[in-house]
């Protein structure tokens, strides 16, 4: 049983800053595992542990994703090994390019039974890579999965959709995008962190996996912090009966 | 520009077709033909795919691809439901492009805007491909009442390469709230101490004829309210006429879901709470004092 | 010179932060402090996440960790919560156990610890007339008919009335000042003749603090822990690490107070601008930062020495004294920055200050640290 958990390396959202011209700055943001992919890695780890499978973490991106601490972080969460395609030419990809690059990386892994993706990436959250990857690999693909039961040659998954919960049977190999409800990602213990340093990570270049020139399918025109809408900011201090009364007078006009 | 529209729900189809008129001069709808899925009169043409027994919506992807390939529209608008996002992604892979997802704005020139970095920024982008695919939420494209010609053509089903077997479908107990279409919304956050106190919030909502939503922790950490009611990144993006934030600090993850509201009213005991910077009216006070007083006096 | 921690240490600290944000809220902590006990749930979670087993040998189910890593955990646990939990002293107690206990004693204690995450035993050393002066101890063990009888009184016994077992240090046969023969006995805290009476601390109230009376307590000879008559030497064995561990918690409290005070200085508007714009406040913050850096560097230089097999007799005393005193100063300044609010029980800084004060006394007072360090300093500079 070969399981692949795909993960994206993103700038830590908490440390993204906004410049006065509303540009976004990543200067202070360290690279980290995309939050939704922690659920994807955990789902893979639980399946691999239950079925004595082999879990591989796969990621693609710029050279800086090949970071020793980040790799240990991933490996402390269950995968036996990591395969990364790290090349500066793989920075800021759109979802079609990402799915193509992942496909090329996964073909280096060889045989696989199950590929897991997160619900979306923490930075762009397009929720598309799983769908596109499945289509490109020409295998069954499903999203919004919050339960996986692994069986011989197939999986039975539960999907949580807007109005219904759907149970479906999918033949393997397949690509599955999991929700953030599927599990609570583990908190790596010292034992797991120490063990991570002894696991293997393979780092390849775009050339190694045969990714040639592929153009962007979406043209990014700009990325800016939203302009704040002007608000009245008529704030009353304190909750004395009088203050509440004057507050009600003000909002009554709006609520009429 | 020729715009095709595909949705999961009949109701969304009408809305999106009407919205599509803002973008293109010709609007064609694609439907899976069944008893309860009839032409709604908003499109110039309806492509009707015969409904197949035991085939899930996602397995019509190949059929959609064949239709798009033949008819070559400039833009495909899709409802941003989970099923539809999967279909959109697969179609984009087939047409060697990427989907512009969860747009909050789409211009005639095909430029879409959507939130990135957890709501910290808005990205403007445009497709490089001859076919643009976009998922657009309800209320984003303000529709017109203009009716279409409404001719119908049947397009044959194409057998999918990988079929899935649906074992079971259970309807979720639907919360009766319809937050995206509510004119007034009360949002409740960490400021409330226990689940029972939601009663007081609901009472206020009833008095001012509003629906109740919440911030992420109330739905995810406390689970006091259903996940479908949380407002913010990866939750609901609302633009009601009045939004009342109660006990909500106003972190960006939440405010991106409500900052397009016409009027914002905030109640919070922390005068430094960020929500006051985004409010038209506010009161720095204990919500346990303010809310009952509001219920009492607005009745 | 490289001041960085290892990637493994950084990842462990990240794990601990995630653990804290998931498992405990400020409301919970307030409850622990009011009720004098950490909840079962949080104690168990700490153990299950593996933090409680750091530094305990693998053969007993532990995870080897060097002292630097252990201190990082002590510091971060305290910093995230701005509170003192019994967890680090539990680990330290287990060090004594695995070092001196027989396999059966170790297994019994580890079993309790593993299941509850709570202290398996209390450690009773100080006495009303013998605190820092251990030789003034008068609790005595007498041996009759194959049994041991304990008589005396202990005080400042942390978690005495809640831990199921107790480890008592006492003199063999005679309470004489000249008698240097001490032993350690491990027995059930509910053995007939054992009585506790709770004392009330002003800080660090997430666990209890007791007086303990031993009235002809009959125990088996097998209750002996380690070697007979060598109890005092055994006790000394982990004192140096204990001092560092206390200092790591002092440092954590100071950093927590700084986190809150610096954030407050930027937010609090007076006279139309944040108080942090005032130079008087900036000077306080600057000096607090210098003190924190000094504490940090002094502590981790000592742990580095220890992990590299160098002696820390002098360093551990310097660290304990400096961090104990300085953390109180930093927390006190944090209260000052918070003004009136700082003097209420609403803020974390007021709790940090109360807790920090305790570390100037527990585990050897500031003055005892001078007593230890002074002689070492003279020795070091003797020409």
Asked if A243 has any chain B CB less than 8 Å from its own CB, the reply is yes
Ramachandran area for residue C27 (φ above 0: left; ψ -120 to 50: alpha; else beta): alpha
Q: What's the Cα-to-Cα distance from A176 to each of A39, A127, B38, B262, rounded to whole Å?
A: 12, 12, 33, 40
Asked if A1 has any chain C CB less than 8 Å from its own CB, the reply is no
Contact B89 A95 (CB under 8 A): yes
Contact A193 C49 (CB under 8 A): no
Contact A143 B271 (CB under 8 A): no
Q: Write down the pLDDT at residue C8.
A: 97
Q: How far is B30 from chain A (nearest CA, A)?
A: 21
Q: Write down the pLDDT at residue A104.
A: 96
Q: Give mean pLDDT, residues A142-166.
A: 94
Residue A217 carries which DSSP code? S
First to last CA, chain B: 51
| Closest listed residue to residue C296, CA positions, set C274, C327, C273, C266 | C327
CA angle B146, B149, B154 (to 5 degrees): 130
Q: Write down the pLDDT at residue C198.
A: 93
Provide the angle, in degrees to the nearest 10, between the axes of the packed helices C87-100 and C103-116.
160
Q: How far is the C-alpha of A79 from the C-alpha of A173, rounded, in Å?
A: 19
Q: How far is B29 from chain A (nearest CA, A)?
A: 22
Q: Give mean pLDDT, residues B30-41.
A: 71
Q: Write down the pLDDT at residue B40.
A: 64
Contact A96 B93 (CB under 8 A): yes
Q: Write down the pLDDT at residue A256.
A: 75
Q: Write down the pLDDT at residue B173.
A: 76
Nearest residue on chain C to A69, alpha-carbon basis: C7
Q: How far is the C-alpha of A200 from the C-alpha of B297, rounded, in Å?
A: 67
Which chain A residues are Cβ-neighbours of C48 within 8 angstroms? none
Question: Testing the interface with A: which of B61, B262, B281, B298 to mutate, by most A Cβ within 10 A?
Answer: B281
Neighbours of C307 (CB within 10 A): 15
Residue among B124, B228, B283 minimizing CB distance to A239: B283
**Which architecture does CATH list for C238-381?**
Up-down Bundle (1.20)
The pairing of strands B281-284 and A234-237 is parallel
Q: How far is the C-alpha of C140 from the C-alpha of C127, rounded, in Å?
A: 12
A116 vs C232 pLDDT, higher one:
A116
Contact C89, C244 (CB under 8 A): no
Contact A190 C22 (CB under 8 A): no
- The residue count for chain C: 383
Q: Give mean pLDDT, residues B268-288.
A: 91
pLDDT band at residue B35 using 50, 70 and 90 as cut-offs:
low
pLDDT band at residue A214 using 50, 70 and 90 as cut-offs:
confident
| Closest listed residue to residue A249, CA positions, set B298, B277, B184, B270 | B298
Q: How far is the C-alpha of C118 from the C-alpha of C86, rounded, in Å?
A: 8
Nearest residue on chain C to A185, alpha-carbon basis: C18
Asked if A72 has any chain C CB less than 8 Å from its own CB, the reply is yes
| Closest listed residue to residue B266, CA positions, set B189, B209, B160, B156 | B189
pLDDT digits (tens, 9 = 90+) for B211-265: 999 998 898 888 899 888 889 877 888 889 999 999 999 888 888 889 889 999 9
Q: Check pLDDT > 60 for residue B75.
A: yes
Neighbours of B228 (CB within 10 A): 16
Asked if C18 has any chain A CB less than 8 Å from its own CB, the reply is yes
Residue B135: strand pairing partners: B78
CA angle C19, C20, C23 (to 5 degrees): 80
Which chain B residues are Cβ-neighbours of A175 within 8 angstroms? none
Q: Write down the pLDDT at residue A226.
A: 84
Question: Testing the interface with A: which of B105, B283, B286, B293 to mutate, by most A Cβ within 10 A?
Answer: B283
Q: Which range, B81-95, B277-291, C109-123, has the best average confidence (pLDDT)? A: B81-95
Asked if A188 has any chain C CB less than 8 Å from its own CB, the reply is yes
> What domains can you pick out in chain B, each with its CATH number?
2-154 (3.40.50.620), 179-298 (3.40.50.1220)
Q: Give mean pLDDT, residues B36-61.
A: 84
Q: Check pLDDT > 70 for residue B36.
A: no
Residue among B82, B86, B263 minimizing CB distance to A162: B82
Residue among B81, B97, B169 minimizing CB distance to A96: B97
Q: Check pLDDT > 90 for residue C171.
A: yes
Asked if A149 has any chain B CB less than 8 Å from its own CB, the reply is no
The domain A2-204: what is its CATH number? 3.40.50.620
Q: What's the Cα-to-Cα distance from C79 to each of A190, C18, C73, rounded to whole Å?
A: 19, 13, 10
Q: How far is A28 from chain B (nearest CA, A)?
A: 14
Question: Testing the interface with A: which of C4, C5, C6, C7 to mutate, by most A Cβ within 10 A?
Answer: C7
Asked if C10 has any chain A CB less than 8 Å from its own CB, the reply is yes
Residue B127 φ then ψ, to 5°: -80, 140
Q: Check pLDDT > 80 for residue B150.
A: no
Q: How far is the C-alpha of C377 from the C-alpha of A88, rounded, in Å?
A: 56
Contact B279 A235 (CB under 8 A): yes
Residues 27-86 of A with CB under 8 A from B: none
Contact A121, A6 (CB under 8 A): no
Neighbours of B144 (CB within 10 A): 11
Nearest residue on chain A to B131, alpha-carbon basis: A217
- Give the start-to-end residue ranges of the domains of chain C: 7-119, 122-228, 238-381
CA C114 to centroid of chain Cα atoms: 20
pLDDT band at residue B39 using 50, 70 and 90 as cut-offs:
low
Nearest residue on chain A to C21, alpha-carbon basis: A187
Residue among A217, A229, A234 minimizing CB distance to B127: A217
ipTM of predicted complex: 0.92
Q: How far is the C-alpha of A127 from the C-alpha of A179, rounded, in Å?
A: 10
Asked if A96 has any chain B CB less than 8 Å from its own CB, the reply is yes
| Residue position matching structure tokens 């239950």 | A50
Element (H, E) at B4: strand B2-6
pLDDT band at residue B145 using 50, 70 and 90 as cut-offs:
low
* Strand, coil or helix: C211: strand
Contact A138 B161 (CB under 8 A): yes
B148 vs C256 pLDDT, higher one:
C256
Q: Check pLDDT > 90 for residue A59.
A: yes
Q: How far is the C-alpha of C72 from the C-alpha of C5, rounded, in Å?
A: 9
Nearest residue on chain B to A181, alpha-carbon basis: B220
Q: Write down the pLDDT at residue B37.
A: 53
The domain C122-228: what is its CATH number? 2.40.110.10
Neighbors of chain A with 3 or more C-beta pairs under 8 Å: B, C
Neighbors of chain C with 3 or more C-beta pairs under 8 Å: A
- C198 burial via Cβ count (<10 Å: 0-12, 13-18, 19+): middle
Asked if the peptide bond before residue C298 counts as cis, ω within 30 degrees of 0, the response is: no
Sign of torsion, CA B78 B83 B85 B87? negative
Q: Check pLDDT > 60 for residue B175.
A: yes
Residues 102-141 of A with CB under 8 A from B: 120, 122-136, 138-141
Which chain A residues are Cβ-neighbours of B169 within 8 angstroms? 164-167
Average pLDDT of every residue of chain C: 94
Asked if A185 has any chain B CB less than 8 Å from its own CB, the reply is no
Which chain B residues are Cβ-neighbours of A238 within 8 angstroms? 284-285
Q: Check pLDDT > 60 for residue C314.
A: yes
Contact A168 B233 (CB under 8 A): no
Which chain A residues are Cβ-neighbours of C50 within 8 angstroms? 189-191
CA angle A114, A118, A124 (to 5 degrees): 140
pLDDT digits (tens, 9 = 90+) for C184-241: 999 999 999 999 999 999 999 999 999 999 999 999 999 999 999 999 889 888 899 9
Neighbors of chain B with 3 or more C-beta pairs under 8 Å: A
Residue among A122, A221, A247 minimizing CB distance to B126: A221
Domain over C7-119 is classified CATH 1.10.540.10: yes
Asked if A189 has any chain B CB less than 8 Å from its own CB, the reply is no
**Percent of chain C beyond pLDDT 70?**
100
Q: How far is the C-alpha of B298 from the C-alpha of B207, rounded, in Å?
A: 7
Residue C194 carries which DSSP code? E
Query: Which residues are CB-contacts of A74 (< 8 A; sequence separation ≥ 6)?
Result: A7, A33, A41, A57, A59, A82, A196
Contact A189 C63 (CB under 8 A): yes
Residues 19-78 of C with CB under 8 A from A: 19, 22, 49-51, 54, 63, 65, 69
Contact B212, B202 (CB under 8 A): yes
Nearest residue on chain C to A68, alpha-carbon basis: C7
Q: How far is A198 from chain B (nearest CA, A)?
A: 33
Alpha helices in chain A (DSSP H): 35-51, 68-75, 95-109, 129-137, 190-196, 241-255
Contact B259 A226 (CB under 8 A): yes
């Amino acid at each position: 049983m070969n399981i692949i958990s795909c993960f994206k390396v993103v700038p830590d959202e908490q440390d993204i800053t906004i410049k006065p011209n509303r540009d976004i700055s990543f200067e202070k943001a360290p690279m980290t595992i995309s939050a939704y992919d922690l659920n994807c890695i955990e789902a893979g780890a639980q399946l691999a542990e239950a079925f004595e499978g082999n879990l591989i973490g796969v990621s693609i991106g710029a050279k800086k994703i090949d970071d020793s601490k980040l790799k240990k972080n991933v490996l402390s969460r269950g995968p036996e090994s990591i395969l990364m395609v790290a090349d500066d030419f793989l920075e800021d990809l759109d979802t079609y390019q990402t799915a193509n690059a992942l496909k090329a990386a996964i073909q280096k892994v060889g045989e696989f039974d199950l590929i897991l993706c997160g619900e979306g990436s923490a930075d762009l959250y397009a929720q598309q890579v799983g769908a596109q990857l499945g289509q490109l690999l020409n295998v069954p693909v499903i999203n919004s999965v919050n339960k996986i039961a692994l069986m011989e040659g197939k999986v039975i998954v539960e999907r949580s959709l807007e109005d219904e919960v759907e149970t479906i049977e999918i033949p393997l190999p397949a690509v599955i995008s999991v929700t953030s409800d599927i599990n609570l990602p583990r908190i790596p213990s010292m034992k797991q962190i120490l063990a991570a340093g002894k696991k293997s990570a393979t780092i390849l270049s775009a050339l190694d996996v045969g990714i040639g020139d592929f153009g962007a399918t979406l043209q990014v025109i700009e990325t800016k912090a939203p302009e704040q809408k002007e608000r009245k900011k008529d704030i009353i201090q304190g909750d004395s009966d009088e203050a509440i009364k004057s507050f009600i007078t003000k909002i009554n006009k709006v609520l009429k | 520009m020729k715009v095709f529209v595909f949705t999961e729900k009949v109701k969304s189809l009408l809305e999106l077709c009407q919205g599509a008129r803002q973008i293109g001069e010709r609007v064609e709808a694609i439907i899976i033909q069944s008893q309860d899925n009839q032409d709604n009169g908003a499109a110039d043409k309806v492509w009707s795919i015969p409904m197949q027994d035991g085939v899930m919506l996602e397995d019509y992807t190949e059929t959609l691809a064949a239709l798009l390939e033949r008819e070559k529209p400039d833009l495909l608008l899709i409802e941003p439901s989970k099923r539809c996002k999967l279909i959109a992604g697969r179609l984009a892979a087939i047409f060697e492009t990427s989907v512009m997802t969860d747009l909050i704005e789409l211009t005639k020139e095909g430029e879409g805007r959507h939130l990135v970095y957890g709501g910290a920024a808005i990205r403007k982008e445009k497709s490089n491909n001859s076919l643009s695919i976009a998922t657009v939420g309800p209320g984003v494209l303000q529709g017109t009442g203009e009716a279409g010609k409404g001719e119908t053509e049947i397009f044959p089903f194409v057998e999918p390469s990988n079929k899935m077997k649906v074992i079971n479908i259970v309807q979720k107990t639907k919360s009766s709230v319809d937050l995206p279409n509510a004119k007034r919304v009360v949002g409740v956050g960490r400021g409330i101490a226990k689940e029972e106190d939601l009663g007081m919030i609901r009472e206020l909502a009833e008095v001012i004829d509003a629906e109740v939503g919440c911030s992420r922790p109330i739905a995810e950490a406390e689970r006091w309210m259903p996940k479908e009611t949380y407002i913010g990144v990866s939750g609901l993006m609302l633009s009601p006429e009045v939004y009342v934030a109660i006990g909500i600090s106003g972190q960006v993850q939440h405010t991106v879901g409500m900052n397009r509201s016409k009027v914002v009213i905030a109640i919070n005991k922390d005068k430094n709470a960020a929500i006051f910077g985004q409010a038209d009216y506010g009161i720095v006070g204990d919500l346990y004092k303010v809310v009952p007083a509001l219920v009492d006096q607005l009745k | 010179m490289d001041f960085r921690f290892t990637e493994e240490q950084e990842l462990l600290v990240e794990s601990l932060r995630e653990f804290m944000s998931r498992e405990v809220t400020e409301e919970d902590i307030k409850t622990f402090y009011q009720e004098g006990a950490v909840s079962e749930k949080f104690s168990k979670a700490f153990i299950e996440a593996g933090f409680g087993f750091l530094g305990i040998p693998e053969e007993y189910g532990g995870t080897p960790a060097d002292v630097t890593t252990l201190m990082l955990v002590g510091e971060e646990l305290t910093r995230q919560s701005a509170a003192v939990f019994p967890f680090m002293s539990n680990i330290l107690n287990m060090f004594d156990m695995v070092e001196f206990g027989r396999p059966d004693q170790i297994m019994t204690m580890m079993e309790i610890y593993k299941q509850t995450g709570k202290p398996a035993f209390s450690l009773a050393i100080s006495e009303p007339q013998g605190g820092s002066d251990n030789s003034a101890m008068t609790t005595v063990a007498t041996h009759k008919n194959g049994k041991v009888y304990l008589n005396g009184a202990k005080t400042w016994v942390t978690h005495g009335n809640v831990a199921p077992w107790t480890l008592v240090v006492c003199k063999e046969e005679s309470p004489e000042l000249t008698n240097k023969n001490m032993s350690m006995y491990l027995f059930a805290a509910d053995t007939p003749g054992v009585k506790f009476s709770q004392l009330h601390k002003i800080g660090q109230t997430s666990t209890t603090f007791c007086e303990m009376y031993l009235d002809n307590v009959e125990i088996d000879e097998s209750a002996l822990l380690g070697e007979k008559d060598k109890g005092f030497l055994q006790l000394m064995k982990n004192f140096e690490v204990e001092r560092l561990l206390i200092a790591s918690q002092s440092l954590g409290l100071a950093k927590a107070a700084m986190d809150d005070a610096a954030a407050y200085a930027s937010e609090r508007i007076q006279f139309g601008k944040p108080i942090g714009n005032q130079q008087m406040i900036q000077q306080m913050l600057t000096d607090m930062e210098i003190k924190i850096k000094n504490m940090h560097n002094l502590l981790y230089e000592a742990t580095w020495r220890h992990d590299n097999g160098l002696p820390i007799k002098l360093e551990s005393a310097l660290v304990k004294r400096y961090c104990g005193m300085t953390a109180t100063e930093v927390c006190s300044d944090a209260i000052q920055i918070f003004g009136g609010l700082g003097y209420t029980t609403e803020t974390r800084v007021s709790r940090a200050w109360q807790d920090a004060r305790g570390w100037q006394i527990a585990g050897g007072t500031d003055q005892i640290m001078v007593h230890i360090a002074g002689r070492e300093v003279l020795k070091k500079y003797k020409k």
